[in-house]
Amino acid sequence: MKKLLFLGVTALLLSCSANDESVTETEVNLLLDHYRTTSLLYGTAFLATENGALQHFELPGIEGFDFQPGFNYSVATTRKTIKNSGTNATSSSYRLIAIQSQDTIPPNTRFTVPLAKFVNGIGYVKWVVGNAELGYQLSHEIDIDCTSFCGELFSLLSIEDNITGEFEHGPNGTYILRALY
């Protein structure tokens, strides 16, 4: 009986894999917008398209890539996709192969970034941290020069309103706030 129990437990342990995942690597081309946006999952993220697709997706980063704001990029990357069959979950990461192009955007180009919003199931999410005296940042990563909008930004954050900022690129990677809505 002990042998039968031992064989049963051994068979059970051998049938359960500690590594139920499959890994694939594919070369893909990414187009990256000239700024990072806010992201529920990552704090800030690139807006990227893959292999000419029309839909943008959020990308937290690319291994080996030094992003400079104010440039649109085309980059060749290796996408590593890990699929865990046990949980049916998939995750992807990207590694830089080469920068194919780095195009400067025109001066004073404006772009919009969500600063705060209500998300069902989560509540009020705000990516702006700081205050008017010490300065504001987006997710502790990007400095915001709020110019004449510091008071309005503070008021909107206080009443937990949905906020989108319209920005221009500033020196040293800062975002210069030009409008709030």
Residues 102-112: tens digit of each pLDDT: 999 998 999 99
Predicted pLDDT at 58? 94
Q: Tokens standing for 67?
A: 């992003």
pTM over 0.85: no
Tell me the longest C-alpha to C-alpha distance in the chain.
81
**Is 30's pLDDT higher than 50?**
yes
**Is 3's pLDDT higher than 50?**
no
Predicted pLDDT at 131? 86
In the chain, domain spans: 21-104, 111-180
Beta bridge partners of 126: 116
Predicted pLDDT at 5? 39
Question: Tens digit of pLDDT for each residue in 59-74?
Answer: 999 999 999 999 999 9
Q: Which of 18-22, 55-59, 90-94, 162-166 is least confident? A: 18-22
Strand order in the sheet with 43-50: 57-59, 43-50, 21-39, 71-84, 89-104
Q: Which of 1-15, 48-62, 86-100, 101-115 is least confident? A: 1-15
Q: What is the mean pLDDT of the chain?
A: 88
Predicted pLDDT at 132? 80
Contact 112, 177 (CB under 8 A): no
What DSSP state is assigned to residue 106?
P
If you average pLDDT over residues 7-18, what whole number do you get?
42
Burial of 72 (0-12, 13-18, 19+ CB in 10 A): middle
If you average pLDDT over residues 77-97, what whole number do you get?
90
